[in-house]
Structure 1
Amino acid sequence: MEFWLDKIFTFMLTHKLVTTLLLLFVMLGIKRLIVRLVRRRGKKRAEDKRPAVNAIKNVSNMLLVVFILVLWSAEVQTLAFSIAAFMVAIVLAMREYIQCFTGFIYATSARMFRVGDWIQVGDHYGEVIESDWLSLTLLEVHMETYEYSGKTLNVPNNLLITRPVKNLNFLKRYSTHSFILTRDQSVNVFAFKEQLQEKARSYCEHFHDVALRYNNLIEKRLDVNISGPDPAIRITTSHLGDTETRITIFCPTDQAIDIEQKITEDFMQLWFASRDAKEPLPQPDE
């Protein structure tokens, strides 16, 4: 008996292809026979044997796969090493694409932004107009003027992982706009600071109530305190000794530059008026 078993195992190992075909034929035949018997019994008893038939098919298919893997185990192991080396080469060649896909999954799951939001990715600012698994499309926005540049930015999604991403959507409607006016120290700016602040407040008066509500909304959602809605003026000096007047206003984004120009015009008028009103220095006697 052992002699014949050794003969059978030797034949199976030396003629694997023939053994595989025989195994397929036998297993499929046994499966079909068992399924036929179960269905026939189900018809006689008027029972639904579809779950049993499905289980028999799944079990027989699994056993067939296991038998084939055991028979070809040595070849499968060699193939696995080859596939592993091939996959490593594929991963190295497509590393950037894999990172882009990972960045897309990360941004989608974290809900970092949606189409229409203003965002900052690294040094790039823009409005999101499209997002896919490979890249992010932005309409570039100049944050100094809050205007569209007309340029389209295609940002790879891997930057969403390797670069800071800021959602600037609150700036799309209202923004905390700051600008600096620099002059020499021939005039004391504190002398007309209250006048300048009053003029700045008048330019912001018509949207003050809306700005107050929007300011409170941002503070509530972000759980932080932000400047506004009243204009703020801070006077400092530069490293060269010039007077710097920093003005901060909380205003509609589309009106920020216009209000800045009005305040700048008032500042220049007050500055030159103060300079011209100063008495000339006494001249030394000859």
Structure 2
Amino acid sequence: MNYLSTIMENKLVVTIAVILVTFAIRYLALKLVGKNQRRNGQDQRSLKSNIKNFLIFVLVLLLINLWADEIQRFAFSLAAFAVAIVLATKEFIQCIIGFFYWMSSRPFRVGDWIEVDQYAGEVSQIDWIKTTVLEVNIDTYQYTGKTLSIPNNRFITSAVQNLNFMKRYAIHSFVLVRDDSNINPFSFIQQLRSNAKLYCHDFEDVALRYNQIIEHKMGIKITGPKPTIEVGTTELGHIKLEVTIFCPTDQTMEIEQKITADFFALCQGEQTESVLAE
């Protein structure tokens, strides 16, 4: 009895014995069926196949029952290992999922301007893990010289703005403020609007076509191409002019400086006339 228990504890020996016995029974059964087939002249291939499958099924059940504890421990270890791997590589997995999201939806392409988490720039390269972006100052529309590496998982967790239409033409808005209460901006607002329109005259036709293309593509009405200037006041009661122009991206700051210079010059003229009148 002790000898039998010792053998049963050595599962490897028992496993080999079970496999040998199973294949021996399989060999004898198939040989017996083969003799009957030659004697009776009947096709026994179906019976042979059933015997093979049945014995393999029995062998698998015996081995699973024999190694049940080890299989269970291995499964738990494998699951724990898999969980550890997933936790350790969670960010990389999310980045790969973000890459597949980009592949399926294509919200932008290489060469487009995008904005993600307040970072804006031109997409220069996209791989499985990250997207390389050449940073652009969204206020001046100029390259900063910095290169950003944005993990692809940001495309799932953050809003991605495609600014590609701003690469050539931009809706540029800026505010002009003057704290002199003696100035009446309505006395020169028309002159300022005429000056702004003059600065945008050279590209007016191209801007109109580009504006129409953007509106058709986006399905909405956008500002432009004519410049607009609205008069208002700040919370402190100072005079405020809100200027919006639709112009080539590389000319935004130049035109802004011209309009700003005209504004202060007109304010100075209005102030001089007010002093002379007094």
TM-score normalised by structure 1 residue count:
0.76
* Amino acid corresponding to residue 156 of structure 2 in structure 1: I
State the SS of the aligned residue for 2:108. coil
Structure 1 position 216 matched with structure 2 position 216: no
Q: Residue deviations 1:11-32, cap 9 Å, x none?
A: xx77454158659988xx9xxx
Among 231, 238, 241, the residue aligned to 1:235: 231
Alignment-derived partner of residue 4 in structure 1: none
State the SS of the aligned residue for 1:205. coil
Among 139, 157, 161, the residue aligned to 2:134: 139
Flag the 1:170–1:20 CA change in 2: closer, same or farther, 3 A: farther
Structure 1 position 149 matched with structure 2 position 144: yes
Query: Structure 1 residue runs of 4+, over 6 Å off?
Result: 23-26, 63-66
Q: Which moved more, 1:177-186 or 1:225-234?
A: 177-186
CA RMSD of aligned residues (A): 2.9
Among 244, 249, 256, the residue aligned to 1:248: 244
State the SS of the aligned residue for 1:248. strand
Q: What is the rounded CA distance, in whole Å, between the counterparts of 1:64 and 1:112 in structure 2?
A: 54
Does structure 1 retain, via aligned residues, the 8 Å contact 2:98–2:153?
Answer: yes
Among 10, 16, 19, the residue aligned to 1:18: 16
Q: What is the rounded CA distance, in whole Å, between the counterparts of 2:21 and 2:171 in structure 1?
A: 76
Q: What is the rounded CA distance, in whole Å, between the counterparts of 2:215 and 2:207 in structure 1?
A: 12
How far is 1:172 from its partner? 0.2
Among 113, 128, 141, the residue aligned to 2:123: 128
Can you give the 5+ residue segments of structure 2 that lack an aligned partner in the other structure? 1-7, 28-48
Does structure 1 retain, via aligned residues, the 8 Å contact 2:117–2:158?
Answer: yes
State the SS of the aligned residue for 2:188. helix
Report 1:46-85 matches (<5 A).
Answer: 68=60, 71-72=63-64, 74=68, 75-85=70-80
Q: What is the rounded CA distance, in whole Å, between the counterparts of 1:23 and 1:160 in structure 2?
A: 60
Alignment-derived partner of residue 193 in structure 2: 197
How far is 1:97 from its partner? 1.2
Q: Residue deviations 1:188-210, cap 9 Å, x none?
A: 11110110000100111111111
Q: What is the rounded CA distance, in whole Å, between the counterparts of 2:213 and 2:256 in structure 1?
A: 24
How far is 1:122 from its partner? 0.8
Flag the 1:104–1:18 CA change in 2: closer, same or farther, 3 A: same
Q: Identity over aligned residues, as a percent? A: 49
Q: Residue deviations 1:224-267, cap 9 Å, x none?
A: 11000000001110011111111100001011111111111111
Q: Which moved more, 1:88-97 or 1:209-218?
A: 88-97
Number of residue pairs matched by the alignment: 241
State the SS of the aligned residue for 2:221. coil
How far is 1:77 from its partner? 3.4
How far is 1:133 from its partner? 1.3
Does structure 2 retain, via aligned residues, the 8 Å contact 1:100–1:135?
Answer: yes
How far is 1:178 from its partner? 0.5
Does structure 2 retain, via aligned residues, the 8 Å contact 1:186–1:275?
Answer: yes
State the SS of the aligned residue for 1:278. helix
Flag the 1:98–1:91 CA change in 2: closer, same or farther, 3 A: same
